[in-house]
Structure 1
């Protein structure tokens, strides 16, 4: 601005005449100082304008949202500003003047909200739900969800009513892979893509969901009890996080696993950077991570629960059992696991089966089996016509978000809103991780055997006490005979319980695993056919009929212990009484 003033003001490039008085020079300098404020505002505005394409970009590469530039070509400028004002480095100047105001995550969310509003899209309700689930990590996670949504917007808007291409795929596309473009593929319906992006599902590919990054496995502890541990693998199948405790049930192991993931995502990379700048000491806490140094000088880190005292065994809840030679290496490892948990780790996905594709063909011999059809006085929820305008939507019900009743309600609302109004969905939250059901069965059998062993040991001790007593021999013999009879009865009772249990689970399989296997086999067989159904449809229909929604476990409590807490309560339509 000041360089455009008439030269008589003496504030431009020409300046004042050499004969100007001290007072006149002071007046010019005062005016220049006053105008610098406006020059600085304009310089910042123009710098922002030059960055508009980056600010409105959805690639997520921008680390700053405030920009400025040095004011140049002003005569005597160095006499008007502080020595820290660097006219040769705009980035340093931006950090000096604006870094304290630049909350990159918050401002990027606002910018993406602006872009979303241009398409009449909203993430408000989703953000509130995520806040309850992920706490302080919500903003960054939701930001990545918005970026993914906008990146795929062409597909999820123009293709929202399109189905997937199941014809002439597989070996017709790749002779070496009969599931090419049918499994482990993004060849899915536009509806699935759109709903996945609205729900923040990181990977919407049709794939095997029951086999994921998580492994919950059983082992026998030193007390001969079946217990459970967990571990998480990365994309290269390397173990990057493991449990530090043993758990009595799969449910307890899963709860601790998700707590560990939550603690990691709530730790920021900025906290790690700041800790390294300030210098760190052994066993220093950085967010929810604890840095450790071994006696040999190796570095490692653990995940901690700050809600528990450091002396408690529940304080360290997970650990990466790997040691690093340098502090820099362990820093990179901590940053890598944070980024993995925030942006790649997932157990979620969505299957959609259009019932019309399963319709039988009367001319086919033998005729294809039908889906369940209602007859007179039918009490099952199968409908008069199970094919027309109906779909089945299958989601894993055991994941952190999908096991939350509020998130389920939100997801079901989104699904019904995004489906065409004339389509009726059957939404199933099903299954267990691969191997989990077998572990639970094994634990139940172990409990029966533990009960048997405890009972037999108690009776043997009683027999020994009788033998060592001063009772007459006849009484001893009678008591021992009675106790031996109790041992026989106990063994028989346990055997009956085991037999009843095995009978009750003889047809009980992991319905998600069965569905995945049957659906994959059906698609591989169906892709080669036109107006026929493959034999594999029978297995698929059977698997779909056995899909059973799983609910959070609740407990019936004494009425005198009533409180306002909903966690662990029996809620109609949202809770299971007991578990397998």
Structure 2
């Protein structure tokens, strides 16, 4: 823009005020041109138009204020993360660890003396073998290793415990930690002869050499500040992608794999690049074998032993450290070298941790507090000659003039009220989008700022109200009028919530849920009540979205889970399960007993002669005053054994297996109740209830029709409440049902007939072993078969013959489950088997191998445990009985859970749920006790057996 040295004059007609004024004049001329020809500024109509245009201009100005000004002024305080569903980057873009690198970052960031961590799956996911997937093996590299074995062992145990605790706090669904191991140090020493430049400090050079060699052998992970990453033009969503860290940000590319081979040539290159080094005359690394205690010299390369980290120790002697400078040879001073090395390491450490105290978040834009709701009344903007301002008109004004003044004030009053209402709406923009707000209002109003000057205009006719009563009357009138126009507030607030959810590409199946609600509850629950519940669910998802999104793939910390939710109001629920519960309208979702909810609700189910009585004791309306014998009124028959109870309880009768379901489903329908009067007794009314089998029974006796009606209404509301409180679900991660990975519980079975039907032989493990040992046995067996090195031995037992497959060293891999009556028959199978293996691939044998976990004598296919979830739901809540709801629920589960995880859904009746909960809560409690392996295995197997029966529709 050119700097002209002066402020340009505003063009005429370029302001909003002028646009409004001109447009209004055009409209006036169009509609009243034949009767009104004077549109000059002195005309009162034009004056009125000017003031209204000015007032509207002020509204437009306030509306166009920056959004942070509007929100902060509306809230009245500084904006926080989560307000109106707006979250800061560190809350909404970060996530609980998902990848192996994510886990590595939190361990490196939060555990002292952990330099690096590596995570590996126990099994190669690309194998055809159907063994357990999702088990992780963790290896830890430390900064410092202690010379004292006791001190080293103590610290290693502490680190392992911290790694396990941190993992359990961030564990992903259907995954588990197999083991944690701390790398052992391989200590190297350096021998060297180097030529240096003149005036170079040899001690500083040696310190640099030691530091850079160790950085090559075991590089330290760097931290970055937000500003540094932004300077590198890394997108914000990439910077914050991953877990929230304490010390800044770690790049994925900095998380390198452990060094497998030490190349001396690479180290020489590193040393040669140090300023001051002229020539490397001689260099080698030495180490002492920890097993044989023999010293080895590394001249070219060294394969780093498994689970070992190599590092150069500080020299104990300078005997083999020779520097040459100007033809003079000298040995460095080790004390001075140690000081120089400490200084270099301190500088390097400060670089790595430089981000720890940085501002690593994007701040919320802070607004300026504005008096948005202030309005200077239009009548006060008129010239004093009009007499409608603060000074009024003269005392000598005629009654007609006084009346005209009042008339003009009354004419302007609606304009001011409309403006005040508009500003009130603007002042409540934060409230309108506030997901913590429980009010139903979507329109807002306010009182006029000059109400005290208008009391005679707004007071009710012929009233003797005081000024305060007049203002209260006017406020009530405006609020009532506002409520009249705000009669669709729930619909609008739901649309507001939908708009907020759309920021995260989230949506509720509103129409479907409304239809399901209508078909489930009928007239027992109004659409308005359900819309309010739906709005509350949407708001819950919005305000919890940062936490739900962060913990979406995170699972329970089963080492620290409360099984008494009434004592733990903040039970940690995985984000994915909280989200499913909210999307399906399940309130207050926790791990809690659903059976206990029924048993404590006042409902009793007890056996009777043929039927079952379903008794609700929470609807006491009155108490019985007399005992009456058997009553027969036309088709009404009441047994005297329960007649007295019928005065203060509700007795629903039905079949034992379906009573709870049918009472909740049909007991909430008002049309199923009928009130009949006893013609022989004055104060006796019978309430009959029609069941789903079109049969009726007397459920209650009241002393008046009004009380009978009240009992029905209270019963329906009570049953709805019981039904909604019974809504919930359980989730079982199959991997957690496994026994100890290090116990002898794992075996396998290979059916060779699947390769060739003529090979009618099935082989299984020779012995049950720990998990990894079993996998190694299978691998060795397959490799021996393919390499034609397997040994086939025929053994006899109980008059029959079996095949043993072993290794050349005598180890037995497997033994045939199939028995043969003669050696010849078995030998024929062996020959055919050898021929078949000649053209069989490794993947083919893996595919016919079944891996099993053994619970005593019971074998469970390991496919059952790999990335599998089971959702268990009660079948008795009213909505949960609806088949369409069940389909929507299962579809929601399918849409929300990670794609690599398979799930099954089960809808249990009361009896089966009672059995499930008995095993489930006992097992959940035992998960927190590592020494209770046998009891835990028993409860786990009961759950497995129940889930398998449900799969086969046997439960």
TM-score (norm 1): 0.58
Q: Specify the SS of the correspondent of 2:450.
A: coil
Deviation at 1:350, TM superposition (A): 1.4
Matched position secondary structure for 2:612: strand
* C-alpha distance 131-337 of structure 1, shift in aligned 2 (>3 A): closer
SS of equivalent residue, structure 1 residue 14: coil
Over 3 Å counting, the alpha-carbon distance change for 1:128 and 1:250 in structure 2 is same
How many pairs were matched up? 425
Matches of residues 236-251 of structure 1 in structure 2 within 5 Å?
242-248=649-655, 250-251=657-658
Partner in structure 2 of residue 161 of structure 1: 553
Give the whole-Å Cα distance in 2 for the aligned partners of 1:183 and 1:428: 28
Deviation of 1:226 (Å) = 1.3
**Deviation for aligned residue 1:304:** 8.4
> Is the alpha carbon distance of 1:78 and 1:133 closer, same or farther for their aligned partners in structure 2, counting shifts above 3 Å?
same
| Structure 2 partner of 1:541 | 941
The residue number in structure 2 matching 1:420 is 898
**1:522-546 CA-partner distances (Å, limit 9, x unpaired):** 222221229x954423432343333
Aligned equivalents of 2:457, 2:702: Cα separation in 1: 56
RMSD: 5.1
Provide the residue aligned with 1:254 in structure 2: 661
Residue 536 of structure 1: SS of its match in structure 2? helix
The structure where strand makes up a greater share of residues is 2
CA shift, 1:18, in A, is 4.0
Give the 3 Å change call, closer, same or farther, for CA 242–7 of structure 1 in structure 2.
Answer: same
Q: Match of 1:17?
A: 394
Give yes or no for contact 1:350–1:394 (8 Å, CA) kept in 2.
yes
Distance 2:545 2:723 in 1: 20
> Does 1:520 pair with 2:927?
no
Shift of 1:428: 1.8
Q: Structure 1 CA distance, aligned partners of 2:944 and 2:702?
A: 43
Change (3 A) 1:521 1:249: closer
CA distance 1:107–1:336, change in 2 (3 Å)? farther
Equivalences for residues 255-404 of structure 1 within 5 A: 255-261=662-668, 263=670, 338=717, 341-342=720-721, 345-365=724-744, 385-404=863-882
CA contact (8 A) 1:260 1:318 kept: no
Match of 1:192, SS? helix
Deviation readout 1:51-93 (Å, 9 max, x if unpaired): 4454444456426554433335268634544617942356523
Query: What SS is found at the alignment partner of 2:615?
Result: strand
Could you say which residue in structure 2 is the equivalent of 1:229?
A: 613
1:411 aligned onto 2:889: yes
2:121 equivalent to 1:121: no
Are the aligned partners of 1:227 and 1:248 in contact in 2 as well (CA < 8 Å)? Answer: yes
In 2, Cα distance between equivalents of 1:14 and 1:94: 27
**C-alpha distance in 2, partners of 1:250/1:142?**
32
**Structure-2 residue corresponding to 1:46:** 423
Deviation at residue 364 of structure 1 after TM alignment: 0.9
Contact 2:666 2:691 in 1 (8 A): no
Q: Kindly tell me: are residues 548 and 384 of structure 1, through their superposed partners in 2, closer, same or farther at Cα, counting changes over 3 Å?
A: closer
Q: Aligned in 2, Cα 1:216/1:75: closer, same or farther, shift over 3 Å?
A: closer
Q: Is residue 410 of structure 2 the alignment partner of residue 33 of structure 1?
A: yes
Q: In the alignment, is the contact (CA less than 8 A) between 1:105 and 1:140 conserved in 2?
A: yes
Q: Distance in 2 between matches of 1:159 and 1:132?
A: 34
Structure 1 runs not aligned, ≥5 long: 171-178, 265-286, 435-509, 552-572
Aligned to 2:380: 3
| Distance in 2, Cα, partners of 1:307 & 1:132 | 17
2:584 to 199, 203, 214: 199
Q: Is the partner of 2:472 in helix, strand or coil?
A: coil
SS at match of 1:547: helix
Cα shift at 1:335: 7.7
The question of whether the paired residues in 1 share the 8 Å contact of 2:652 and 2:663 is answered with no
Of 134, 141, 149, the match for 2:533:
141
Deviation at 1:9, TM superposition (A): 2.8
- Once residues 80 and 353 of structure 1 are traced to their aligned partners in structure 2, the CA distance between those partners, rounded to angstroms, is 70
What is the CA distance between 1:107 and its match in structure 2?
A: 4.7
The superposition leaves residues 429-476 of structure 1 with CA deviations (integer Å, 9 ceiling, x where unpaired) of: 22x214xxxxxxxxxxxxxxxxxxxxxxxxxxxxxxxxxxxxxxxxxx
Q: Secondary structure at the match of 1:226?
A: coil
1:62 matched residue in structure 2: 439
Distance 1:91 1:105, change over 3 A: farther
| Residues 1:537 and 1:241: Cα distance change in structure 2 (over 3 Å) | farther
**Partner in structure 2 of residue 450 of structure 1:** none
C-alpha distance 303-86 of structure 1, shift in aligned 2 (>3 A): farther
Distance 2:519 2:946 in 1: 33
CA contact (8 A) 1:428 1:548 kept: no
Conservation of the 8 A alpha-carbon contact between 1:191 and 1:419: yes
Larger Rg: 2
Task: Give the drift of 1:427.
Answer: 1.7
Give me the whole-angstrom Cα distance separating, in 2, the residues matched to 1:304 and 1:404: 25
SS at match of 2:905: strand
Would you say the 8 A contact 1:70–1:86 is kept in 2?
A: no
The question of whether the paired residues in 1 share the 8 Å contact of 2:734 and 2:866 is answered with yes
CA distance in structure 1 between the aligned counterparts of 2:495 and 2:686, rounded to whole angstroms: 34
User: How much has 1:227 moved relative to structure 2?
Assistant: 0.8
Aligned CA distance change for structure 1 residues 343 and 62 (closer, same or farther; 3 Å) = farther
**Contact kept? 1:55, 1:62, Cα under 8 Å:** no
Q: Which residue of 2 aligns with 1:130?
A: 517
The change in CA–CA distance for 1:111 and 1:343 in structure 2 (over 3 A counts) is farther
Give deviations 1:110-152, integer Å, cap 9, x for gaps.
4444443444432223334323323424323323433444454
Match of 2:24 in 1: none
TM-score, normalising length from structure 2? 0.37
Counterpart CA distance in 2 for 1:55 and 1:409 is 34
1:433 aligns with 2:910: yes
Structure 2 Cα separation of the partners of residues 60 and 306 of structure 1: 42
1:182 & 1:388 partners in 2: Cα distance? 33
1:183/1:207 contact within 8 Å kept: no
